[in-house]
Homo-oligomer: A and B are copies of this chain.
Amino acid sequence: MRATAIAQPNIALIKYWGKRDSDRNLPAVGSLSVTLGSIGTRTTVEFDAALDSDRVHINEQEVESVDRRVEKCLDRFREKAAIAHKAVVTTANDFPTGAGLASSASGFAALVVAADRALDLNLGEDELVDIARTGSGSAPRSLYGGFVLLENDSDDGIRCGSVLGPETWPWSIIIAVTSEAPKKVSSTDGMELSRTTSPYFSRWVETHDADLRAAVASIEDRDFEKLGELAERNCLKMHAVAMTSRPPLLYWSGATLECAQNIRELRKSGVPVFFSIDAGPQLKAFCLPDNSEEVRDSLESVPGVLRVISSELGEGARIVE
């Protein structure tokens, strides 16, 4: 009744922002991400008939009120296994939690893989994707490695899978951490604010599929420059929607923007590199392995950068114990 899984955060190149159905946590738009290789979440799930409620420990601290989304995920497994046992979930991230580094994605991906094994359910991929989605809209992407596509399937669900494995086209991802503080507005709240108040949200949704198609084609063509251009612009389209919400969501700090300008300058000087930013102040730079040291050095020199994390592409969520 106990298993441990590891899952790794993913970073969307073509962003998920906004839901078409909040109750069922269905996205308004598809997304395309890369799964990281060097930072991760390790989660142990243990079902126990002796417990009277679900318990969650995050980074060695028991949380006072368990996230409703965690209970909902566990309920799905209990239903499948036809048991009522509550569970202890023990999870730890080796990177800042809740600061725009996709800790909820890797967290829920590790949770579903561990819970599935703990109960020996061996659910199919589609079911794991569906349960992970109810926890966090970007969690299904962390179930897979390399370049991952998540798409709306029908009114009822999504489909998700690898476009290209992590070994086929090696990349380096350099994350410039500019703040370790948790973000003030959660992605879920931010998305809902954007959907209901940004004058640009409708155009974001209308123009999104073209970005997604073009990005998938660039991966198939191994066209790094084209993909970078698409990803950088899609990121700015997302932040443009966020910042025109009411009240405005400005996820960037000065250091985030200086990093973005730094990457643009580096690209102008001939280095193939591009950036992306999520709902937090960290900047993520993408390059090919040959340029990774140069990009790392460049971001480390930007005032306000607290530390830099380097990563290759990684595998999907997996059982470790």
Count A-side interface residues using an 8 Å CB cutoff: 31
Q: Give the secondary structure class of A's interface.
A: helix
User: Which residues of B are found within 8 Å of A250, using beta-carbon distances?
Assistant: 236, 257, 260-261, 264
Known: A243-B240, A254-B254, A261-B253. A202 touches B199 (CB 8 A): no
Distance from A196 Cβ to chain B, minimum over Cβ atoms (Å): 15
A239 part of interface (Cβ distance < 8 Å): yes
Annotate A244-268 by CB proximity to B: 1 below 8 A, 0 otherwise.
Answer: 1010101011111110110010000
Residue of B nearest to A237 (CB): B244
The CA-CA distance from A149 to B202 in the complex, in Å, is 30
Contact between chains at A257 and B254 (CB < 8 Å): yes
A291 part of interface (Cβ distance < 8 Å): no
The CA-CA distance from A28 to B237 in the complex, in Å, is 22
Distance from A140 Cβ to chain B, minimum over Cβ atoms (Å): 27
A304 part of interface (Cβ distance < 8 Å): yes
The CA-CA distance from A57 to B248 in the complex, in Å, is 43
User: Which residues of B are found within 8 Å of A68, using beta-carbon distances?
Assistant: none
Give A174-215 interface residues, CB cut-off 8 Å to B: 199-200, 202-204, 206-207
Contact between chains at A304 and B200 (CB < 8 Å): no
Contact of A233 (CB < 8 Å), options: B206, B240, B248: B248
The CA-CA distance from A256 to B261 in the complex, in Å, is 13
Of A241, A243, A244, chain B has the most CB atoms within 10 Å of the CB of A244
Give A213-239 interface residues, CB cut-off 8 Å to B: 232-233, 236-237, 239
The CA-CA distance from A241 to B199 in the complex, in Å, is 11
User: Which residues of B are found within 8 Å of A258, using beta-carbon distances?
Assistant: 253-254
User: Which residues of B are found within 8 Å of A248, using beta-carbon distances?
Assistant: 232-233, 236
Contact between chains at B254 and A233 (CB < 8 Å): no
The CA-CA distance from A258 to B304 in the complex, in Å, is 11
Contact of A203 (CB < 8 Å), options: B203, B264, B303: B203
The CA-CA distance from A250 to B252 in the complex, in Å, is 13
Contact between chains at B233 and A244 (CB < 8 Å): yes
Q: Which residues of A contact B (CB under 8 A)?
A: 199-200, 202-204, 206-207, 232-233, 236-237, 239-241, 243-244, 246, 248, 250, 252-258, 260-261, 264, 303-304
- Given A199-B237, A252-B257, A254-B258, 15 more A-B residue pairs with CB atoms under 8 Å apart are A199-B200, A199-B206, A200-B203, A200-B237, A236-B244, A239-B243, A250-B261, A253-B254, A253-B258, A254-B256, A254-B261, A254-B303, A254-B304, A256-B257, A303-B303
The 3 closest A-B pairs by CB, nearest first: A254-B254, A240-B240, A254-B258
24 CB contacts below 8 A, A to B, read A199-B200, A199-B203, A199-B206, A199-B237, A200-B200, A200-B203, A200-B204, A200-B240, A233-B244, A233-B248, A237-B244, A239-B240, A239-B243, A240-B243, A240-B244, A250-B257, A250-B261, A250-B264, A253-B261, A254-B254, A254-B255, A254-B256, A254-B257, A256-B257
